[in-house]
Structure 1
Amino acid sequence: MLATTSGTALLPVGPCHLFGPMTCFVTSNVIMALTMHAELLIVYTMFCRYRMLQCTEMRTQNVVLGYVMMAILPTILLILPHTGSLRFDLVMEQAIREHPEHNLEK
């Protein structure tokens, strides 16, 4: 990752360099969404354990509703970046201008 004034450039290295910037972008978003989902599930598990100590039973509907709620934010994180236009060429030109110490030329 390389920060610029108006965004973040994901530098394609390895397989991302072969498949193009869109593959790198989608892979990064999928990894971030899965990581967020795992973190939210850990928090929800702690909440369920706390609730089990407070009351002896939890209804199945409440547990399922909690799992669905934990999946909403990662799903939004996965879909939202792909709704706008992606200008990889402009971001790369700006990264080349702002960071001449890196060899970003093709």
Structure 2
Amino acid sequence: MSVRSKMFFVILAIAAAAPATSFAYWFPNNTEQGGIEKYDSSGRKTRAQVLKELKEAMADPTWDTRQGEATGEWPKIDAAPGKTRAQVRDELDSLTAAEKMHIESNTGA
């Protein structure tokens, strides 16, 4: 075998081993997607303890002000209109010229 052939196989072996060694020091943790989560099982609580803590948290006055993931509920949007079309038309007709100018200056119309 010639020196060129030997060098070719050495370079080929290094090129094949490079991708495998590039992941040698990678260790998944909680900061990466698909990481490993380790839970401390020494602090396990009973169902009664968890329900007691939940009742205490719900008794907090700020409980109702929180929404979404904190309470498990999203705010309900009322789809019913506050005014009828006739009421809105009456209000627009009863506007003074100064009020109309103020509205137009704020909307850029």
Would you say same fold, with TM above 0.5?
no
Bigger-Rg structure (1/2): 2
- RCO comparison, higher one (Cα < 8 Å, 6+): 1
Query: TM-score, length-normalised on structure 1?
Result: 0.25
